[in-house]
């Protein structure tokens, strides 16, 4: 026995659809259509991070040990976070102006052993920073309402709400 569907298709002709694919050379496949995409791929990494620095190292001490440094436009030091014990390490980020200086810096300081005031050794690791953008220093704006009657009224209302 045939189902109703089968009986309907017996009387009809089946249409054949042909699909043709174009052959695209491999060179053209990978080229981006947008010139901006092409520029992004050529981005040069210039920011490095120095990890595993001694936890009690200060920024001044680090700059003294790293001197003479090639020209740079960004230097940020982060002291060790005491809540991460026993993994206490400081780190520093440097953005070099000349990308060729990175290789010289890495050869000199990757594996360089920093010694803290207790005599413990800390071999540093130099690598490209995962986030290559440079953070902008935010200017702290002075509160325009501070010291005015409006600012005083807002503060009083806030204290009353908390009470």
Question: Does residue 28 surpass a pLDDT of 80?
Answer: no
Average pLDDT, the chain: 80
Q: Which two structure tokens, joined as six digits, stand for 77?
A: 């030091």
Sign (positive or negative) of CA dihedral 159, 160, 161, 163 = positive
Domain positions in the chain are 47-132
47-132 maps to CATH 3.30.70.330: yes
Q: Round to whole Å and give the CA distance between 53 and 90.
A: 5
Q: Round to whole Å and give the CA distance between 132 and 47.
A: 6
Q: Note whether 50 and 80 are within 8 A (CB).
A: no
Q: Each residue of 61-91: pLDDT tens digit?
A: 999 999 999 999 999 999 999 898 988 999 9
Q: Note whether 93 and 99 are within 8 A (CB).
A: no
User: How much of the chain exceeds pLDDT 70, in percent?
Assistant: 60
Torsion of CA 141, 142, 146, 148, to 10 degrees: -100
Q: Note whether 92 and 53 are within 8 A (CB).
A: yes
pLDDT at 5: 54
């Amino acid at each position: 026995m045939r189902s109703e569907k089968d009986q309907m298709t017996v009387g009809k002709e089946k249409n054949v659809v042909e699909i043709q694919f174009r052959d695209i050379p491999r060179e053209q496949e990978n080229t981006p259509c947008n010139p901006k995409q092409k520029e992004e791929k050529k981005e040069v990494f210039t920011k490095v991070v120095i990890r595993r620095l001694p936890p009690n190292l200060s920024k001044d001490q680090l700059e003294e040990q790293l001197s003479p440094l090639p020209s740079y436009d960004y230097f940020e030091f982060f002291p060790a976070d005491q809540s991460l014990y026993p993994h206490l390490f400081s780190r520093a980020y440097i953005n070099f102006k000349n990308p060729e200086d990175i290789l010289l810096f890495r050869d000199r300081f990757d594996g360089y052993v920093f010694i803290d005031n207790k005599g413990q050794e800390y071999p540093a690791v130099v690598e490209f920073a995962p986030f290559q953008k440079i953070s902008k220093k935010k200017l702290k704006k002075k509160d325009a309402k501070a010291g005015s009657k409006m600012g005083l009224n807002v503060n009083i209302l806030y204290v009353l709400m908390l009470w």
